[in-house]
Amino acid sequence: MFNLIRADLYQMRKSKSIKILFLLCCISAAIMYVVCKQLTEGNLGTDIIGFGSFVTDFQMISLVSVIFISIFICNDFDNKTIHDSISSGYSRSSIVICKTITYYISILLFLLPYMVVAIIGICSGDSFESFLPSVFQNIMKYKSGISFNSTIFFKILAIYLTMSIVYASQISISVLIAFAVKKPIIVISLGYIINAAIAQIVNIDNFSDLFKLTPFGVDYSKLTLDASASVYGSFIGTSMIFMLIMIILSYISFRKAEIK
């Protein structure tokens, strides 16, 4: 299985598509930083929030991750890479686990620019205004002007790792879709639409209690630099259970599929 992971990581390093997706995240994180700062200074009105919502971490990570899944799972079906792996003796379960690990590493990569701008925001000493529920916006707003030190860095790192697990869990639905339909266009469109729809449904009172049992129902406002270990545990535990369910369903779908 480790050979499969190394092969995927090598493919990531050589892929122009991944570099473009990462650059998109960098640009989006920079725009989010500027919007948060300009809102505080009064240079932008609330009408910018519509555009600003697209560059926040939860929107951008959802988009680029779904595209990544279509590239590294669906395309591997198209070019027979997965077929070759099975012919070489790798089990279908090891392939699913490998793809999940590679996918999580991509989340770490795509989310990194948002952690960087949060650190820059703290170091700048400027004031920021959060315009949507975003953990990294809340960090800049809540702790603007404090001194940056190793303790603050490790707290931000812990938040970054926790949110990477939350996002990986939320978007793991697209992994299931990829193994089920194997069509990039369907995965991108259906995966993004499902995540966007759930983000709206979770706010409906009749469904809120149900979604609290999933990573879609976590309260981002609780994950601050002052968050307790129980908050981290709740975020990670809920996300890991949901992602495990998606991995199992992905394996079941893949096991039943005929590989031609």
pLDDT band at 237; cut points 50, 70, 90 = very high
- Find the helix packing angle between 16-41 and 92-124, rounded to 10°: 30
Average pLDDT over every residue of 44-70: 81
The whole-number pLDDT of residue 127 equals 74
Most confident listed range (50-64, 100-114, 119-133)? 100-114
Structure pTM?
Answer: 0.90
The whole-number pLDDT of residue 46 equals 64
The percent of residues in the chain predicted with pLDDT above 90, rounded, is 35
- Return d(Cα 77, Cα 259) in angstroms, integer: 9
Quick one: DSSP state of residue 88? T
pLDDT band at 143; cut points 50, 70, 90 = low
Average pLDDT over every residue of 6-23: 89
Structure tokens belonging to residue 179: 């193994």
Note the pLDDT tens digit of each residue in 178-221.
998 888 899 998 988 888 888 778 777 676 677 778 888 888 88
- Return d(Cα 197, Cα 173) in angstroms, integer: 13
The whole-number pLDDT of residue 81 equals 82
Structure tokens belonging to residue 23: 């650059």
Give me the amino acid identity at 201. I
Note the pLDDT tens digit of each residue in 29-44.
999 888 888 877 766 6
**Secondary structure (DSSP) of 121-169:** HHHH-------SS-HHHHHHHHTTTPPP-HHHHHHHHHHHHHHHHHHHH
The span from the first CA to the last CA of the chain, in angstroms, equals 22
Compute the mean pLDDT over every residue in the chain, rounded to the nearest whole number.
85
CA–chain centroid gap for 1, Å, is: 24
The whole-number pLDDT of residue 146 equals 67
The percent of residues in the chain predicted with pLDDT above 70, rounded, is 89
- Domain map (residue ranges) of the chain: 2-256
Residue 260 pLDDT > 70, yes or no?
no
- Return d(Cα 229, Cα 166) in angstroms, integer: 16
